[in-house]
Amino acid sequence: MTTIFPVEKQCAHCGRHSEHIVIGSTNTFGSPDLDTRPPEMMRSTIPHWVQRCPHCGYCNSDLDHLLPTAGQVMSSEAYRDQLVERTLPTLANSFLCLSIILAAQGEFTRAGWSSLHAAWVCDDERAAQGALHCRQRAASLFQEALASGQMIARQADASDALLVDVLRRSLQFPLALSLCEDGLRKHSDEIIKGVLTFQKLLIQRQDSGCYTVAQALGNA
């Protein structure tokens, strides 16, 4: 089961206080999605993965901590606009604002993950265009991360499998196929190969839907 509780946080940017929900514990049962999104009950804890200061709009996974570029980025038009972007769910905007701060300080991997989290929020809210936008941003940031030598997953083969899924689900089929075929040539892990083989079929069908790892491996 999931346990959550309210805590008062002091915003590291403006110094003012607000109440937020933090996760005490949670669990997962079942298979993650191909982009690693966890199954329930952890899946439903996503509203508590990012905190937004109601006074100044600072967004971070923990408002107590100040990201070095926050002050500069938060005064930008891009950040202020993102906070109140009406075409996206508020929670997705919070994840994207965090992503903007992280990208500004060169943390492309974490920025990519925050954008992917925003996409998951859009999926849940059936905001298809929003999800597409967030995944395109995530794919671009993950590519930037890899180009600058940052890992986006613990292993290189898992990194490739993740990026293939984000590219496929953001309709970038030719690039997804190229990376998928490259991964199939390079990697020997049986699970990764099974996932990439399944991805290749989806890409060839131009299927941008959500599938689990268990479905990819024929266990669902």
**120 with 37: CB under 8 angstroms?**
yes
Copy the structure tokens of residue 60: 């971070």
Question: Is the omega angle on the peptide bond into residue 41 within 30 degrees of 0, that is, cis?
Answer: yes
Among 2, 4, 14, 193, binds Zn ion (CB under 5 A): 14
CB of 98 closer than 8 Å to CB of 134: no
Query: Stretches 3-11, 100-108, 111-119, 163-171: which one binds Zn ion (CB under 5 A)?
Result: 3-11
Q: Choose the binding region for Zn ion from 7-15, 22-30, 130-138, 165-173 (rule: CB under 5 A).
A: 7-15
Q: How far is the CB of 159 from Zn ion (least distance, A)?
A: 34
Report the nearest approach of Zn ion to the CB of residue 13 (Å): 5
- The reply on whether position 175 binds Zn ion by CB under 5 A is no
Alpha carbon of 162 to those of 1, 37, 183, 205: distances in Å?
27, 11, 11, 19
Site for Zn ion in 27-56 (CB under 5 A): 53, 55-56
Measured from the CB atom, the residue of 54 and 106 that comes closer to Zn ion is 54
What residues from 100 to 159 belong to the interface with Zn ion (CB under 5 A)? none
Judge whether 184 and 174 are in contact, CB under 8 Å.
no
**Contact map string, positions 53 to 92, toward Zn ion, x by CB under 5 A:** x-xx-x----------------------------------
Based on CB atoms, which residue is closest to Zn ion, 98 or 167?
98
C-beta closer to Zn ion: residue 95 or 198: 95
Burial class, 51, CB count within 10 angstroms (exposed 0-12 / middle 13-18 / buried 19+): buried
- Sole window of 9-17, 102-110, 164-172, 208-216 interacting with Zn ion (rule: CB under 5 A): 9-17
Instruction: Tell me the HSE value of 210 on the side-chain side, using a 13 A CA sphere.
Output: 18
- State the SS3 of 158-210: HHHHHHHHHHHHCCCHHHHHHHHHHHHHHCCCHHHHHHHHHHHHHHHCCCCCC
Q: Which is nearer to Zn ion, 58 or 142 (CB)?
A: 58
**Nearer to Zn ion among residue 51 and residue 199 (C-beta):** 51
Q: Judged by CB under 5 A, how many residues of this single chain contact Zn ion?
A: 7
Q: Where are the beta strands (DSSP E) in 40-82?
A: 51-52, 59-60
The binding site for Zn ion (CB under 5 A) comprises 11, 13-14, 53, 55-56, 58
